[in-house]
Amino acid sequence: MNYKKAAEINENISWRDITPGCNIYEGGTSDTVATGEWRTMRPVLHEDKCKQCLLCVPVCPDLSIPMEKDGKRGGFNYFFCKGCGICAAVCPFGAIEMIPEEK
Amino acid sequence: MGIRERLSGNEAIAYAMKQINPDVMGAFPITPSTEIPQYFSTYVDNGEVDTEFIPVESEHSAMSTCIGAQAAGVRAISATSSCGLVYMTEMLYVAASDRLPITLAVSTRALSGPININNDHSDAMGVRDAGWIQLFAETNQEAYDNYLQAMRIGEAVSLPVMICQDGFITSHAIENIELAEDDKVRKFVGEYHPDNALLGRENPMSVGAFGMPCYYMECKRQQAQAMIDAKEVIRRVGEEFGAMTGRSYGLIEKYRMDDAEEAVVIMGSSAGTAKAAVDELRAEGKKAGLVKIRSFRPFPAEELVEALKNVKAFAAMDKDDSFNAHCGPMFAEIAAALYAAGETAPKGINYIYGLGGRDVRLESIRRVYAELEQIAATGKTGETYRYLDVRE
């Protein structure tokens, strides 16, 4: 059968070789796609204003604000972050600023 | 030797489901298929099957349930009719394109409006391009037999299968039927163990990918190939079923076609009436024949060309209308098959018939053959888009 992993499916694949239904024969394939590229606005953390209240962490729809072992939030995971700005909206201290994404 | 019984078409389908003992049923009731999940839920309640019976709030959810279950790695079934099938339509496409061999029993019924609960093929024809294999039954026996073959066919090509029978006409009429023994059914149908499934810890997979323009068309071409490949599988499974029961099946059935000059092409229960008309006409010395389509998807183009190429005139009988100011779907596809094969000698006409439960009588079919005789004699088809038995 035609069991392929994400890395084996590319834009040159023929109809005979593509997987049925474009199914992908592995899990966690989001690791291979930089969906953060869709972002037009980028959240930037001003650490001097951040009180580590952690209100931003659970509201992120893409789990792009990681928790560190010391119980503090880490830097944004820009590989997944879509720049929706919810974190900035919930921050009571103005510690997250949304700036235009530039390439 | 099978077990002789008397069952309605819905009972026969529910009994086949019981014998197969599938893993999940997503169900929502609608006339005239309601009895299928109703009877089957009794088997579930009595512990005669191990099926997870999931009553849902709509047909859209019933099919979604089946998609989730089948993708998880088990056999999923449902049953529906009419607007229920229409309401499922969005998910029917997903089931087919995700290549999930779900089995759906359809007791065919007209669509609103005017509101009507009786039989025609508008519902099944409305989803004919959803990517499902569609088998149609003339009798309760065929509905039962087709159901027992469905999973073998669908799982071989990774496509879902619709087992259609005529609502009320066979779904509620009780007929003599020969059932296969449980052990024979289980051996014939076999068990379902997909190599990969969402719940397969050893071989994980992701289902329901986003197919961008650079992938979508390759994916659809491969899906189209599965439907092409299904033709041979339907033949092979039909022969194997014949070896078990003495009742063999192909894509079409030819009835007294050897030297036929006038032929009717028809699908579903009215084929029985039309066969009786053929017998009468043959007794009168007329060269009448009949072709019954069992598999509408995949469409048996080559088989129909072979069956029809030597007749003088044929009528394609559509139990629904495309409302295209031209013809019904069966006529369109038969005409396309003949033209593509370079067979332009047979004169063809199209009858829209039996809509919303309009009775189809021997006299109705005899009128069709009388028209065909005229066309065969004169070579003039006249209007090709006709309604049968409608008051002028």
CATH at residue B315: 3.40.50.920
Residues B189 and B75 in one domain: yes
Residues B292 and B372 in one domain: yes
Residues B226 and B305 in one domain: no
Closest chain B CA to residue A30:
B206
Nearest by CB to B196, which of A15, A25, A29? A25
Q: What pLDDT was estimated at residue B289?
A: 98
Residue B346 token pair: 């047979």
Contact B99 A21 (CB under 8 A): yes
| Parent domain of B257 | 252-387
Nearest Cα of chain A lies from the Cα of B157 at a distance, in angstroms, of 10
Residues B119 and B241 in one domain: yes
Which of B227, B245, B263 corresponds to the end of one domain?
Answer: B245
Q: What pLDDT was estimated at residue B204?
A: 87
Nearest Cα of chain B lies from the Cα of A38 at a distance, in angstroms, of 15
Closest chain B CA to residue A12:
B214
Contact A20 B203 (CB under 8 A): no
Task: Look at residue B392 and tell me if it is in a domain.
Answer: no
Name beta bridge partners: B266. B292
pLDDT of A32 over the 90 cut? no
Nearest by CB to B218, which of A3, A18, A27? A18
pLDDT of A31 over the 70 cut? yes
Q: How confident is the model at residue A1 (pLDDT cuts 50, 70, 90)?
A: low
Rounded to the nearest 10°, the torsion over CA B164, B169, B170, B172 is 110
Residues B226 and B282 in one domain: no
pLDDT tens, per residue, chain B with 392 residues: 799 999 999 999 999 999 999 999 999 999 999 999 999 999 999 999 999 999 999 999 999 999 999 999 999 999 999 999 999 999 999 999 999 999 999 999 999 999 999 999 999 999 999 999 999 999 999 999 999 999 999 999 999 999 999 999 999 999 999 999 999 999 999 999 998 899 888 888 999 988 999 999 999 999 999 999 999 999 999 999 999 999 999 999 999 999 999 999 999 999 999 999 999 999 999 999 999 999 999 999 999 999 999 999 999 999 999 999 999 999 999 999 999 999 999 999 999 999 999 999 999 999 999 999 999 999 999 999 999 999 99
Residue A19 token pair: 């997987």
Q: For residue range A39-69, list pLDDT tens digits in order.
A: 999 999 999 999 999 999 999 999 999 999 9
Which of B187, B219, B245 corresponds to the end of one domain?
Answer: B245
Residues B301 and B210 in one domain: no
The CATH number given to whatever domain includes residue B204 is: 3.40.50.970
Residues B180 and B309 in one domain: no
Sort strands B313-318 and B262-266 into parallel, antiparallel or unpaired.
parallel
Residues B117 and B259 in one domain: no
Residues B303 and B342 in one domain: yes
Residues B188 and B65 in one domain: yes
Contact list in A for residue B98 (CB cut-off 8 A) is 21, 23
Task: Look at residue B223 and tell me if it is in a domain.
Answer: yes
Contact list in B for residue A9 (CB cut-off 8 A) is 215
Positive or negative, the CA dihedral B287, B292, B297, B298 is: negative
Contact B206 A18 (CB under 8 A): no
Residue B185 token pair: 């059914």
Residues B166 and B213 in one domain: yes
8 A C-beta contact, residue B212 and residue A10: no
Residues within 8 A of A (CB atoms), B 131-170 only? 158
Q: Is the pTM of this model over 0.90?
A: yes
Contact A23 B204 (CB under 8 A): no
Residues within 8 A of B (CB atoms), A 71-100 only? none
Which of B245, B279, B296 corresponds to the end of one domain?
Answer: B245
Nearest by CB to B214, which of A11, A15, A24? A11
Task: Look at residue B39 and tell me if it is in a domain.
Answer: yes
Contact A15 B218 (CB under 8 A): yes
Q: State whether residue A32 sits within 8 Å of chain B by CB.
A: no
Total domains in chain B come to 2
Sort strands B295-297 and B133-136 into parallel, antiparallel or unpaired.
antiparallel
Angle (CA) B186-B192-B194 rounded to 5° is 165
Query: DSSP 3-state helix, strand, coil percentages of chain A (rounded to 5)?
Result: 20, 15, 65
Contact list in A for residue B209 (CB cut-off 8 A) is 21-24
8 A C-beta contact, residue B148 and residue B137: no
